[in-house]
Amino acid sequence: MTLPLFPLNTVLFPGCKLDLQIFEARYLDMIGRCMKQGGGFGVVCILEGEQVGNAPSGFATIGCEALIRDFQQQDNGLLGIRVEGVRRFDVGPYEVQKDQLLLADVNWRSEQPDAPLEEDDHDLLALLGALGEHPMVAALDMPVEVIGQQALANQLAYLLPFEDEDKLDLLAIDSPRQRLDAIQALLERLQGELFA
């Protein structure tokens, strides 16, 4: 499967929403094609380089497919879109087109079946509820009433202020339970740093 890539300074997770302003010709063309064909594009995290201008020299080899859920002309005249993460993928061979758009062969990662929340997950669920009250999170209109480990793990990994490298490690974990355990360990490390 070939997918156009949109390198960003963020890590997108399945089931999570992201608002983007589109102004570069290569991405306006890409969004137009996606909307005509009903397809998506891949969001990959930039490791080296910039979001604007030439294709970045380094980006993550794991990403998340994004589907356009809404779009509107913004007050500044730019196209605003809201996308939702759908499926994780590994980046295979890729090419940089003349307009600097990246096209990559991707391999879809298989998702493990979701599991119901356990007793141990209630603190993390309460944390997600608290995050959901923040105006920026509320504006994304993501449901914080989750019933499975997959949605809880994805939303916490997306919304918490972890380093991009940590978020990429979380995105690469296939098991929702293991992802939640890794989030708990990162939270404990953050608390340790705050009170050190």
pLDDT along the chain (196 residues), means of 10: 94 96 92 94 90 78 97 88 97 93 95 90 94 90 85 96 96 96 94 76
Of 188, 186, 16, 181, the residue nearest 115 (C-alpha): 181
| Domain co-membership, 86 together with 23 | yes
| Domain co-membership, 95 together with 128 | no
Q: Rounded distance, CA 24 to CA 26, Å?
A: 6
| Domain co-membership, 27 together with 98 | yes
| Domain co-membership, 59 together with 97 | yes
Q: What are phi and psi of 140, to 5 degrees?
A: -75, -15
Q: So what's the pLDDT on residue 146?
A: 86
pTM above 0.85, yes or no: yes
Task: Look at the block and give the residue holding tokens 């990959």.
Answer: 44
Q: Is 67 exposed, middle or buried (0-12, 13-18, 19+ CB in 10 A)?
A: middle
Domain final residue pick, 108, 138, 157: 108
Look at residue 50 and tell me if it is in a domain. yes
| Domain co-membership, 180 together with 159 | yes
Q: So what's the pLDDT on residue 15?
A: 94
Q: So what's the pLDDT on residue 112?
A: 86
Count of beta carbons in the 10 Å neighbourhood of residue 77: 7
> What are the residue ranges of helices labelled H in the chain?
25-37, 122-132, 135-140, 149-159, 164-172, 176-194
| Domain co-membership, 90 together with 131 | no
Q: Rounded distance, CA 150 to CA 141, Å?
A: 18
| Domain co-membership, 96 together with 23 | yes
Domain final residue pick, 88, 108, 128: 108
Q: So what's the pLDDT on residue 141?
A: 86
| DSSP notation for 130-145 | HHHTSHHHHHHT----
| Domain co-membership, 162 together with 101 | no
Q: So what's the pLDDT on residue 48?
A: 87
Total domains present in the chain:
2
| Domain co-membership, 134 together with 174 | yes
| Domain co-membership, 96 together with 11 | yes
| Domain co-membership, 49 together with 104 | yes
Structural domain for 150, as ranges: 119-194
Look at residue 114 and tell me if it is in a domain. no
Domain final residue pick, 52, 83, 108: 108
| Domain co-membership, 163 together with 102 | no
The sign of the CA dihedral 73, 77, 78, 82 is negative
Domain with residue 40: its CATH number is: 2.30.130.40
